[in-house]
Amino acid sequence: MHRQYGGQNASFKQSDHNGENHMKKLLMATAALAIGATSAFAETKIGMITTLSGGGAGLGIDVRDGFMLAIGQSGRDDIEVVIEDDQQKPDIAVQLADKMVQSERVDILTGIIWSNLAMAVIPSVTAQGKFYLSPNAGPSALAGQGCHQNYFNVAWQNDNLHEAAGAYATSAGYSNTFILAPNYPAGQDALTGFKRMFKGELAGEVYTQLGQTDYAAEIAQIRASGADSVFFFLPGGMGISFLKQYADSGVDLPVVGPAFSFDQGILQAVGDAALGVVNTSQWNKDIDNPTNAAFVESFQAEYGRLPSLYASQGFDTANLILSALEKAEVSDADAFREALRATDFDSTRGAFKFGPNHHPIQTIYAREVIKEGDVFTNKIIGVALENHSDVYAADCKM
Amino acid sequence: MIPERLVNWVVFAGLLAVPLWAIVVDEPFTITLVTRAVILAIAAVGLNIALGIGGLVSLGHAVFFGIGGYAMGILAYHAQTYTSLDLFGLSLAGTKSMPIIWLVAIVVSALAAWIIGLLSLRTSGVYFIMITLAFGQMFYYFAISWSTYGGEDGLSIYVRNGFPGLNTLVPIQFFGLCFALLCIVLFLNARLQNAPFGLALNAARQVPTRVETVGLNPMRLKLVAFVISGAITGLAGALFADLNRFVSPTMFSWQLSGELIVLIVIGGVGRLYGPVVGACLFVALEHWLGALTEFWHIYLGLILLAIVLFARGGIIGLLTGKEGAHV
Amino acid sequence: MSTLLIIEQVLNGLQFGVMLFLMAAGLTLIFGVMGLINLAHGSLYMIGAFAAAAVAGATGSFVLALAAALAVAAIAGALIEMTVIRRLYGKAHLDQVLATFALILIFSEGTRWLFGSFPLFLDIPDYLSGPVTLPGGIQYPLYRLTLIAVGLLVGLGLWALIERTRIGIQIRAGENDREMIAALGVDIRLLYTLVFAIGAALAGLAGALVGAIQSVQVGMGEPVLILAFVVIVIGGIGSIKGAFIGALLVGLTDTLGGIFLPELFKLFMEPGAATQTGSALASMAIYILMSLVLIWRPTGLFGARA
């Protein structure tokens, strides 16, 4: 567990030397105690449960880093963030949530990356009166019938990026697309979302196995199907494997996908195989507004790497919370909620607003993978969907 | 060296004392932690019957854990959504009553254990380990693709199931329930070990041929042990799902099977309180080591290695100075 | 479903099988000779891949990367054998499972501590990339053909080693009767370390070769490990021939099952449900295969009869 305080020391790098960290923590804790004793501010406690170990750790680390960057830049010293690792296991996430609510008595929770962990934690946490702001996972159940007044999603609803890919594929003129995704709920949602916005024909629809690493068979199917394009959703290592094998196979069809397989962290591992692929995202580092430019620069200065969309989502979530804290205390739940709804903050995406189900209404861009010098990154090539909400909002009876 | 009886009583007292202390200092989360240890202990006691006494190294015992969990999940899901469960032409209503759910979990797990046991006990040694692993993986992949009950997302049960006379949402009351069940299971285990069945099973583990010459069938003994073992682990699965108010395919994973074995070995194989000590230590390590460093698995691995190489009887073996059962 | 597609899928199944063979051969050798269940084999696979990625990143040479993978994995294997494994011979299977399970934990988190949480970059060299046209008009990636070739070569090499060299005789004798060959003056400790190192090197090579077309990340070894165990159980523990046949069986079942099962179900179900059921069954297919083999032959296809 790592406790970090906003203000004094903006450097929150995960130190390799635990001794150094301990000393720092001890000093900061003492200082905070001293301040707390005399402070007139009620302290706000935020609990972040995210994935910091195992294969999926890259996403959690990015969200955490983006979030803490914003907290550090705020200069506030009355916010305490408790960060825990859920190891991508739902039962650990539930246990941590219990601990945060019962033992740490946090006011706000955030951080979960994966939809299955989110579904395990969020309903019970919001039912207990705590606020939950999601910096990533946006399951459809919580956007529609399961929506809750304490639940806000700062990233997207799961289907959004896939819908945008479908819209882009239509506008790019593809008429016979081969689509594939892993056989689990997020994968099924991905293909449903794509099909919702895609107006062409499907050359094939395949569900792969979760965790599958060899796609030779699927690529052979693509080759034989007569498709003119490919859409896939394969997060993490699955996407890396698929792209490498696809690029090597000689099947030269254009590829479209959501940002999840083409984020900054993964691109370096895929290399040339990803060049030219179009992917959809609500954020890219070249979105032209001062907040975004400052964010990219400060993130690179602080952590020595370019931010991904996950980092931007963590950054925005923190800034939304900070903006609401300017207006109301968390203890006044109704006022705080209204302050959150007002979204009176500078987002890396420009203007930011929520729909009635507390999910963003935003523009989703189409971006292409390019190489800048030695680094692979994305560049915006167009808009896929503008002012896009989600299809579940109508079911939300908040 | 400390007598085993004393160690057992100390552990028993400790398990009661810690939650009571937690109430006094108002730390409900500690109670949740101890409850988790108790439930894992029940699962491990189940496995210990097959492993410690019977010598069956089952690397797929999570199968029963998962079956128990999903028994709870499916029944409670149908209850909370007011839909009916259509099974073999019968239309059953769901239920949120713990005793019924436990009964279903135990019966279904026992049935599964009987079938899996019949098929697996034809093999032995590493082949047995592998075929039990295979069954675990089959259920795991099946659960992932079974989207009616959430698939990989799992099932959330919003309100804990009910037990007549208690408010199970209060941590200490749910703990009390689980602790009572642990006591019952431990009592059963103790009686079993000293009953003719247990002695025969023990003998079958060590010298199967001699047991055969006496006229007993080692295969049948092991099958019965496997069934009892599966039933108990299934019960633990239902309790675990209730603790987390969540069921997911990870309850079937081979990593969990491995962890159950780790629990027993840390505590002491074949010892009555071995699984209990192991579970408590494991949960404590998970909690405290995880707070110290992100890479705490390294330390867990080192501790495990040390125990396997140097402290063969586990913690209880260390304390009592005797080695436990040789599997 | 055209014949060309079927042939291509069969080739894919064979290639997958051949890669599994590299893993399984090492595993079955170690178990056959030393009687040791080695769960850490997957970690050696991962170490090989990471070594290859690191060297390829530093030097740009794929051949050097492969050599590094072999060397590092072999050294790691020898080190593990001398420090940990040596104490596990003759111990119960349970102890071996646990000690090597502990090694998995240590290696996985250790690698993450050294290399970070993001996947590493490893790519096929240009001279091996792209498809070639096979007789019949099939376009097949050159790299995958290379993999098949390498796997077959290794299989032949192993066979030659076991059947035609002194070391091979010692290994075979050791499989049969450990005490006897120690009594006959063979340095058993050296032999064991050598066998373990060979097994480790094979795993490391597999990791490097496969890592080039998949993802080099922490935890990449565990899924392959489980498959390798399935292979040696189907083939019969201790038998290299069994490992080869078993690997091909598993590779073909997994690949062809994934393609044809959904198609099979589409005959009498609507497409959505068919794909789901077919996919579900395909993921369980190899385990069902293993269970069936074990029920028919409790010690595997070519294992020692009880």
Confidence band for B89, pLDDT divided at 50, 70 and 90: low
Q: Write out chain C residues lying below 8 Å of B134, CB-based.
A: 230, 287, 290-291
Q: State pLDDT tens for residues C261-293.
A: 888 888 888 776 777 778 778 878 888 898 888
Residue A370 carries which DSSP code? E
Euclidean distance between CA atoms C100 and C85, whole angstroms: 8
Q: Write out chain B residues lying below 8 Å of A189, CB-based.
A: none
DSSP B84-153: EEEETTEEEE---BHHHHHHHHHHHHHHHHHHHHHHHTTS-HHHHHHHHHHHHHHHHHHHHH-GGGTGGG
Compute the C-alpha angle B42/B327/C226, nearest 5°. Answer: 80
* Paired tokens of A152: 């806000």
DSSP A199-212: -SEEEEEEEE-TT-
Half-sphere CA count of C244, side-chain side, radius 13 A: 13
Among A182, A44, A60, residue whose Cα is nearest residue A118 = A60
Euclidean distance between CA atoms A314 and A310, whole angstroms: 6
**Cβ atoms of residues B293 and A18 within 8 Å:** yes
CATH superfamily of this structure's domain A160-283+363-395 = Response regulator (3.40.50.2300)
Cβ–Cβ gap A220/C9 under 8 Å: yes
How high is the pLDDT of residue C1?
A: 60
Q: Where are the beta strands (DSSP E) in C128-270?
A: 131-134, 138-141
Find the CB nearest C294 among B131, B262, B297. B131
Euclidean distance between CA atoms A214 and C143, whole angstroms: 13
Euclidean distance between CA atoms A33 and C222, whole angstroms: 46
How high is the pLDDT of residue A12?
A: 31
Among B256, B279, B284, residue whose Cα is nearest residue B268 = B279
Euclidean distance between CA atoms A154 and A319, whole angstroms: 10
Euclidean distance between CA atoms B41 and B233, whole angstroms: 9
Please give the backbone phi and psi of residue B167, each rounded to the nearest 5 degrees, phi first. -105, 100
CB atoms within 10 A of CB B191: 11
Cβ–Cβ gap A120/B244 under 8 Å: yes
3 state SS of A257: strand
Torsion from C-alpha of A105, A111, A116, A120, nearest 10 degrees:
10
How high is the pLDDT of residue A29?
A: 45
The neighbours of chain B, by the rule of 3 or more Cβ pairs under 8 Å, are: A, C
The rounded radius of gyration (Å) of the Cα atoms in chain A is 21
Compute the C-alpha angle A273/A275/A278, nearest 5°. Answer: 115
Please give the backbone phi and psi of residue A205, each rounded to the nearest 5 degrees, phi first. -135, 115
Mean pLDDT to the nearest integer, B124-138: 86
How high is the pLDDT of residue B194?
A: 87
Compute the C-alpha angle A226/A232/A235, nearest 5°. Answer: 155
Strand partners, A380: A367
How high is the pLDDT of residue C50?
A: 95
| Amino acid in position A273 | A
Compute the C-alpha angle A241/A245/A251, nearest 5°. Answer: 140
Which pTM does this prediction carry? 0.81
As a residue count, chain B comes to 327
For an interface test with C, which of A242, A249, A263, A306 has the most C Cβ atoms less than 10 Å from its Cβ?
A: A249
Q: State pLDDT tens for residues B215-233.
A: 888 888 899 999 999 999 9
**Cβ atoms of residues B265 and B278 within 8 Å:** yes
Strand partners, A350: A347
Mean pLDDT to the nearest integer, B279-298: 82
Interface of chain C toward chain B, CB-CB under 8 angstroms:
31, 37, 84, 87, 92-95, 97-99, 101-106, 108-110, 112-113, 226, 229-230, 233, 237, 276, 279-280, 283-284, 287-288, 290-291, 294-295, 298-300, 306
Q: Write out chain B residues lying below 8 Å of A186, CB-based.
A: 152-153
**Cβ atoms of residues A264 and A305 within 8 Å:** yes
Helices (H), chain A: 18-38, 57-74, 90-99, 115-127, 140-143, 160-171, 185-197, 216-225, 237-249, 264-270, 290-303, 309-327, 333-342
Compute the C-alpha angle C52/C53/C58, nearest 5°. Answer: 100
**Cβ atoms of residues C19 and B114 within 8 Å:** no
Who contacts B271 (Cβ-Cβ below 8 Å, separation ≥6)? B4, B52, B313, B314, B316, B317, B324, B325
Among C214, C193, C240, C187, residue whose Cα is nearest residue C76 = C193
Cβ–Cβ gap A265/C220 under 8 Å: no
Euclidean distance between CA atoms C26 and C31, whole angstroms: 9
Residue B51 carries which DSSP code? I
Euclidean distance between CA atoms A175 and B321, whole angstroms: 75
Q: Write out chain C residues lying below 8 Å of B305, CB-based.
A: 84, 99, 102-103, 106
* Paired tokens of A366: 């189409």
Q: Which residue of C has its CA nearest to B138?
A: C284
* Paired tokens of C149: 């070739």
Q: Output the tens digit of pLDDT for each of chain C's 306 residues.
A: 677 778 888 888 898 899 899 999 989 888 888 878 888 999 999 999 999 999 998 888 899 999 999 999 999 999 999 998 888 887 778 888 888 889 988 998 889 888 877 778 888 888 888 888 888 777 888 898 999 999 999 989 988 888 888 888 887 777 777 777 778 777 788 888 999 999 999 999 999 999 888 888 888 888 888 889 889 889 988 888 899 999 999 999 988 888 888 888 888 887 767 777 787 788 788 888 988 888 888 888 887 754
Q: Please tell me which residue, A111 or B323, carries the higher pLDDT value.
A: A111
- Helices C142-164, C188-211: axis angle to 10 degrees equals 170
Helices (H), chain B: 4-24, 28-48, 62-80, 98-120, 125-145, 171-194, 196-206, 208-213, 218-244, 254-267, 274-292, 296-310, 314-320
How high is the pLDDT of residue A70?
A: 95
Find the CB nearest A207 among C109, C144, C276. C276
Q: Which residue of A has its CA nearest to C224?
A: A213
Strand partners, A383: A365
Helices (H), B146-195: 171-194
How confident is the prediction for chain B on average, in pLDDT?
86
Mean pLDDT to the nearest integer, B147-163: 79
The neighbours of chain A, by the rule of 3 or more Cβ pairs under 8 Å, are: B, C
Cβ–Cβ gap C215/A268 under 8 Å: no
Cβ–Cβ gap C229/B130 under 8 Å: yes
Mean pLDDT to the nearest integer, B48-66: 91
As a residue count, chain A comes to 398
Euclidean distance between CA atoms C203 and B231, whole angstroms: 39
Instruction: Tell me how far apart the terminal alpha carbons of chain A are, to the nearest angstrom.
Output: 35
Q: State pLDDT tens for residues B173-193.
A: 899 999 999 999 999 999 988
Find the CB nearest B305 among C99, C112, C276. C99
Euclidean distance between CA atoms C222 and A66, whole angstroms: 31
**CA distance, residue C83 to nearest chain A CA (Å):** 26
Euclidean distance between CA atoms B154 and B173, whole angstroms: 26
* Paired tokens of B54: 């019977």
**Cβ atoms of residues C98 and B261 within 8 Å:** yes
CATH topology of domain A2-158+287-362: Rossmann fold (3.40.50)
* Paired tokens of C126: 């240009």
As a residue count, chain C comes to 306
- Write out the residue limits of the CATH 3.40.50.2300 domain(s) in chain A: 2-158+287-362, 160-283+363-395
* Paired tokens of B62: 């999570």
Element (H or E) spanning A51, and its range?
A: none
Evaluated on CA atoms B224, B228, B234, B240, the torsion sign reads: negative
| Amino acid in position A124 | S
Q: Which residue is it, tokens 């199917």?
A: A221
Q: What b/e string do you get for A76-115 counting C-beta neighbours within 10 Å, with b at 16 or more?
A: bbbbbbbbbbbbbbbbbbbbbbbbbbbbbebbbbbbbbbb
Q: Output the tens digit of pLDDT for each of chain A's 398 residues.
A: 444 443 333 333 333 334 434 444 444 444 444 444 444 456 899 999 999 877 678 889 999 999 999 999 998 888 999 999 888 888 889 889 988 998 889 999 999 998 888 988 998 899 888 999 999 999 888 998 889 999 999 999 999 999 999 999 999 999 999 999 987 778 888 999 999 999 999 998 888 887 788 888 889 889 888 999 999 999 878 888 899 889 888 888 999 999 988 888 788 888 888 898 999 999 999 999 999 999 999 999 999 999 999 999 999 999 999 999 999 988 899 999 999 999 999 999 988 999 999 999 999 999 999 998 888 899 999 999 988 999 999 988 88
Q: Report in angstroms the alpha-carbon separations of C131 from A331, B73, B315, C122, C149.
A: 63, 49, 58, 19, 15
How high is the pLDDT of residue A102?
A: 84
Mean pLDDT to the nearest integer, B5-16: 88
The neighbours of chain C, by the rule of 3 or more Cβ pairs under 8 Å, are: A, B
Residue C136 backbone class (left: φ over 0; alpha: ψ -120 to 50; beta: rest): left
